[in-house]
Homo-oligomer: A and B are copies of this chain.
């Protein structure tokens, strides 16, 4: 299987497959006589594994660890769970940050007339840090 096929089948772009090879996340693929990379079912499974992990927001570093555990038949599931747990915390922290931003923005936006007049609590907040004169 050429890289294009592997990309289509795994959902990882050809570009990223080469990149993952370059950074050592996956082993260097076999090559044909003319230098084309070739992929087998095992490689495909690895690539698909990686894509699913990326879809779940795992970083390359975390995926490196997950791949090692995946290949390690004597792994302890606790190790996997720990990585996942850490990742859940990271994601949750990010969500909280976003949540706070959204709350603030919604609040400011709700108090903004949104008409032709220049007065705007959003700008006011950015400029002065205060809550704006129309604010509760």
Q: Which A58-86 residues sit within 8 Å CB-CB of chain B?
A: 66, 69-70, 72-78, 80-82, 84-85
21 contacts between A and B (CB under 8 A): A45-B127, A48-B129, A49-B126, A49-B127, A53-B126, A56-B104, A70-B123, A76-B117, A76-B118, A77-B113, A77-B114, A77-B116, A77-B123, A78-B115, A81-B113, A81-B114, A84-B112, A88-B109, A91-B102, A91-B105, A95-B102
Chain B contacts for A2, CB-based, 8 A: none
Look across to chain B and name the residue whose beta carbon is closest to the beta carbon of A81: B114
With A91-B98, A92-B98 known, 17 other A-B pairs at CB within 8 A are A49-B127, A52-B125, A53-B126, A55-B101, A72-B118, A74-B118, A77-B117, A78-B113, A80-B112, A80-B120, A81-B113, A81-B120, A82-B114, A84-B108, A84-B112, A95-B99, A98-B98
A53 to B105, CA, bound (A): 10
Contact A112 B77 (CB under 8 A): yes
A88 to B70, CA, bound (A): 39
Look across to chain B and name the residue whose beta carbon is closest to the beta carbon of A71: B123
Least Cβ–Cβ distance between A95 and chain B, in angstroms = 5
